[in-house]
Amino acid sequence: MGHPPKYTQRRIVNLKIDNQDHIREAVNTIQDLELKLGRNYLDKEIERFNQIHQEIIIAVENQKQ
């Protein structure tokens, strides 16, 4: 997959929209992220998190036996 989630979040958090130039920059950044990560990036990250969460639960249950 593209960038690590923290890198992606940092790029989004650092967006500025206080003037027309910053708005254009922000739109370009978002479009760049969409191209690199895909339109459904968040859905993929949520699915990956859920899969890891399930694996942890199974591992803990297996240790109890």
Summarised one tens digit per residue, pLDDT across range 5-52 is 788 889 999 999 999 999 999 999 999 999 998 889 888 888 888 888
Total tally of structural domains belonging to the chain: 1
Where do we find the tokens 């859905």? 43
Domain carrying residue 56: 5-64
How high is the pLDDT of residue 28? 97
Question: pTM of the predicted model, to two decimals?
Answer: 0.59
Distances (CA, A) of 51 to 2, 9, 19, 36, 55: 19, 21, 41, 23, 6
**What band does 2 get if pLDDT is binned at 50, 70 and 90?**
low
